[in-house]
Homo-oligomer: A and B are copies of this chain.
Amino acid sequence: MRAGPSQEEIRRQNLGALLRHVHLSGPTSRAELTSRMGLNRSTIMALTADLTAAGLVREELPRETGRAGRPSLVVRPESSRVYVLAFDIGVDRLVAARVGLGGVILDRAESPRDRGPFSLGEVSGLLAGFTGQMLKKVGADAVCVGVGVSFSGGVRRLDGVVRFSPNMGVADVPLGAELEARLGLGIPVAVGNDANLGALAEQARGVGAGSRDLIYLHGDVGIGGGIIASGQLLGGHGGYGGEVGHMVVNAGGRPCGCGSRGCLEAEVGERALLEAAGRFGHQVGRDAVRSVVDAADRGDVVAREALLRVGDWLGLGVANLVNIFNPEIVVFGGMLREIYLGAAAQVRSRINTDVLYASREHLRLRTPVLGDDTTLVGAAELAFAQVLADPLDALARVGA
């Protein structure tokens, strides 16, 4: 019941909306911006002039139009000048990247991570080191407008504290604050749950582009969910919404790291698959999961049975979520991509049995377009959120 916005608020909204257009769609002509935003030509010109003066976009002639007549100028994001830092902290790997406006990955560094307890100091130090190396190569006029981190665990919205992550062995770790101090850039570090960021990334730039009702399921060691309902990320009261990995699908079933039994994560996670296939304790990670799916594909009976069992529980979990959310798309990311591709028939069959017809009639099941970079791209989008919401204010905050 807030009152409508002021003239100045509307101008800021419009600047953000125009910048978001070129950030997500790439170089766009003024004519197209005019029609897509429903504003008149002079307003678009004034907005573009403001963003150009701030160094966020530039206008240029398009390479080729294929049409006669004077071509409309194209508005292009200043990708090499305006960038964010994005970090992806997974169970098995650490990634740091410099991502330019428009979503261009300008530079990246990556290292595998040994499983075992998470050390805040060690991980922050390593990521800060990667960043230092990357920043040496950056031109003097470039400006960092945000820092975003994807983490495999539950993150408090308010302050970037990791509240829980059974699979990383941490609780109540001030990840955002620690990384901010180590980087020493004076820019607040935004931290998000990996599956939530995966959902944002696939909706912004992936298989869910344009969808307002999407579920992204991310399998690492555990299973997380990122849910977009009516175009908004489901956050919940404290920011922990989407913990679908701890939905009980098999009451009294396998013990889970959370202390309960029969959670989706306990029945479908990496360990469940490897144990069922008699391969637990040898290899771990994505390669181990892939090898079970490959073996099943080649006719290995034990691997096939394991995959069917896990696929059936995955299907039951997805069926529950489809009844609850009536989504347009469900995306299977991380190691769930392999499991879904190996057991799509089981998943589809469970959905057909357990979901009301109306709730599944337009449902699509998909794998991520962004592949293993889904969560990293999501971290970059989180970092860009400020500058896209209020471009000039965000630049002022980072001292540009």
Contact B4 A13 (CB under 8 A): yes
Contact B37 A2 (CB under 8 A): yes
Q: Which residues of B contact A316 (CB under 8 A)?
A: 248, 251
Report Cα–Cα, A251/B309, bound state, in Å.
13
- CB A318 to nearest CB in B, in angstroms, measures 11
Inter-chain pairs besides A4-B17, A5-B5, A240-B356, 14 sampled, C-beta below 8 Å: A1-B17, A3-B13, A3-B37, A4-B14, A212-B237, A213-B241, A227-B324, A232-B232, A236-B327, A241-B324, A246-B356, A247-B320, A248-B319, A324-B324
A163 CB-CB contact with B under 8 Å: yes
Point out the residue from B3, B229, B357 that lies within 8 Å of A14, measured CB to CB.
Answer: B3
| Given A259-B353, A354-B260, also A242-B324 (CB < 8 A) | yes
A358 CB-CB contact with B under 8 Å: yes
- CB A392 to nearest CB in B, in angstroms, measures 15
Query: A24-55: which residues lie under 8 A (CB-CB) from chain B?
Result: 24, 36-39
Contact A1 B14 (CB under 8 A): no
A20 CB-CB contact with B under 8 Å: yes
> Mask for A301-345, Cβ within 8 A of B = 1, else 0?
000000000000000100111011111100000000000000000
Report Cα–Cα, A243/B321, bound state, in Å.
9
Q: Which residues of B contact A101 (CB under 8 A)?
A: none
A125 CB-CB contact with B under 8 Å: no
A120 CB-CB contact with B under 8 Å: no
Query: A214-261: which residues lie under 8 A (CB-CB) from chain B?
Result: 225, 227, 229-230, 232, 234-244, 246-251, 258-260
Contact A154 B3 (CB under 8 A): no
Contact A359 B39 (CB under 8 A): no
Contact B3 A156 (CB under 8 A): no
Interface centre among A38, A154, A328, A356 (most CB of B within 10 A): A356
Point out the residue from B9, B36, B243, B358 that lies within 8 Å of A238, measured CB to CB.
Answer: B358
- Count of identical protomers in the assembly: 2
Report Cα–Cα, A91/B316, bound state, in Å.
29
What are 30 A-B pairs with beta-carbon distances under 8 A? A1-B24, A1-B37, A2-B37, A3-B13, A4-B5, A4-B9, A4-B11, A4-B17, A154-B356, A212-B237, A213-B236, A225-B324, A229-B241, A234-B325, A238-B326, A238-B361, A239-B326, A243-B323, A243-B326, A243-B359, A244-B324, A246-B354, A247-B323, A247-B324, A248-B354, A250-B251, A251-B251, A260-B353, A320-B320, A321-B324
Q: Which residues of B contact A323 (CB under 8 A)?
A: 243-244, 246-247
| Given A38-B2, A213-B236, also A356-B164 (CB < 8 A) | yes
A21 CB-CB contact with B under 8 Å: yes
A207 CB-CB contact with B under 8 Å: no
| Given A1-B20, A20-B1, A356-B258, also A234-B240 (CB < 8 A) | no
A61 CB-CB contact with B under 8 Å: no
Interface size class of A (residues with CB under 8 A): 35 or more
Query: A4-24: which residues lie under 8 A (CB-CB) from chain B?
Result: 4-5, 9-11, 13-14, 17, 20-21, 24
Q: Which residues of B contact A20 (CB under 8 A)?
A: 1
A383 CB-CB contact with B under 8 Å: no
A362 CB-CB contact with B under 8 Å: yes
Identify the closest chain B residue to A155 (Cβ).
B358
Q: Which residues of B contact A293 (CB under 8 A)?
A: none
> Mask for A191-212, Cβ within 8 A of B = 1, else 0?
0000000000000000000001
